[in-house]
Amino acid sequence: MRKILIAAATAAALAPCAALATDGYFSHGYGMKAKGMAGASTALTHDAFGGATNPATMAFAGDRWDLGVDWFSPHREASRTGSGPAGIDGTSESGENSFFIPEFAYNHMIRPDMALGVTVYGNGGMNTTYPGGEITGAAGTTTCNNFQTGGVGTPAASYNLLCGNGKLGVDLSQLIIAPTVAWKFSPDHSVGLSPLFGYQRFEAEGLQAFRGFSSDPNNVTNNGYDTATGWGARIGYFGRLTSEISVGAAYSTKIAMSKFDKYRGLFAEQGGFDMPSNWSVGAAWRPANAWLVAVDYRRINYNEVSSVGSPSANVLNCNNPGLPGTDPSACLGGSNGAGFGWQNVSVRKIGVEYAVDPSLTLRAGFGRSDNPIRSEDVTFNILAPGVVQDHYTLGATYALDKESELTGAFMYAKKNSVSGQSLFAQFGLPPTTTETISMYEYSLGVAYARKY
């Protein structure tokens, strides 16, 4: 047990390096076997990652631990056209597109009908780093100078895409530790509970032009990393209806987080950034001994978190000088402050597994997520272009012996783009001022598991 706790602590320490963005900013799957099947896992019991998906499945997972790492490579691009004499057109690609994300899970049957375990996993994906300097010209010749002056900034000869100084971007990482208890209340049915401890880390750079729209201008940008913690819970049910068919369902509450004090002038509700509630249902069918087909439906409630779901156009209602509104609560950081405008998303997943022989199992999957970002919210989402929808996966497990196995998984999320009228058009720029954000992704991971 001591070694297991050390491994969990190591995974927890590394997880803040994560940067995921497939189902919005949730991962497409948790556990390498699930990732090989596009994340379809609510009705499967083949590893110890039930704390991240469906706690009830741990009652059927047996004694085991899983440890892996996933290389994740997101590619983000943003551009603006049509600003005319305002002179703020530009194009930029986000750097830092290679991340290594650890995963860890442990399960132990304390008696034949009850399991205890822990799952350590990550979310994130609002990670962008644009180099800056995309908007150029002598000081005083671009519209960006007006935003800098009004925003208590410093006029310069060049700006990033959001009229700030230097690099532009945000870095959000989320770690969840889920201790789990699962109980078989009959031979083929179980329930489970996972208290969820959340930890998150955030930094923003290059948002100097936003200071003039904030209730707290000194806590908008370039304040280094800040952290927050909080608690929630996930409950689940799993049932084997027949020897060929199983079903599952799970619900995770919103994880209520402490506030990002260093960014209380950026995020709504004075720095609030909770983790949204979500739920899933799934079914698995084994038409033959060698074949398994699993399907999942998942709902993620992004718009219940104000800093994520509130419309970005709320900033126009701010009562700061130069804005048409009269509502101080609508300024950035206020109780009705602007957010990224993300909508709730539905995610549909299908995965297939084929056992070639007792040592080798192959997997494939396809998942489709709704796009959380509307065209009217593109400007703010230059910072967080989580617009991919379709992802394709492959995976395999090779049994080294009766107790240990290696699993690998590959994912490709094809490029998707969203365009819309720039929010800058509401400040006197031509209505043709348009922005486009784009994204595509790869991931490749490997995990080792041992049964005992």
DSSP H helices, 111-188, are: 144-150
- Residue type for 165, please? N
* Residue 121, burial from CB neighbour count under 10 angstroms (0-12, 13-18, 19+): buried
**Token reading at 133:** 């300097």
CATH architecture of the domain 2-451 equals Beta Barrel (2.40)
d(CA 89, CA 282): 46
d(CA 29, CA 140): 49
Written as tens digits, the pLDDT of the chain (452 aa) is 454 444 455 445 544 444 455 788 899 999 999 999 999 999 999 999 999 999 999 999 999 999 999 999 999 999 999 998 888 999 999 988 888 889 999 999 999 999 999 999 988 656 899 999 999 864 555 778 777 655 555 677 789 999 999 999 999 999 999 999 999 999 999 999 999 999 999 999 999 989 989 999 999 999 999 999 999 999 999 999 999 999 999 999 999 999 999 999 999 999 999 999 999 999 999 999 999 999 999 999 999 999 999 999 999 898 876 666 788 899 999 999 999 999 999 999 999 999 999 999 999 999 999 999 999 999 999 999 999 999 999 999 999 999 999 999 999 999 999 999 999 998 888 999 999 999 999 999 999 999 99
CA distances in angstroms from 250 to 77, 84, 168, listed in the order given: 35, 51, 38
| CB atoms near residue 427 (< 10 Å) | 17
CA distances in angstroms from 325 to 84, 223, 314, listed in the order given: 26, 28, 9
Choose among 116, 2, 123, 115: nearest CA to 52. 123
pTM to 2 decimal places: 0.91
d(CA 308, CA 301): 10
Choose among 447, 369, 372, 367: nearest CA to 411. 367
pLDDT recorded at residue 14:
47
8 Å CB contact between 342 and 369: no
d(CA 228, CA 261): 9
Choose among 400, 407, 403, 401: nearest CA to 353. 407
d(CA 159, CA 134): 6
Q: How is the chain split into domains, by residue range?
A: 2-451
- What residues contact 3, with CB distance under 8 A and at least 6 apart? none
**Token reading at 316:** 């126009």
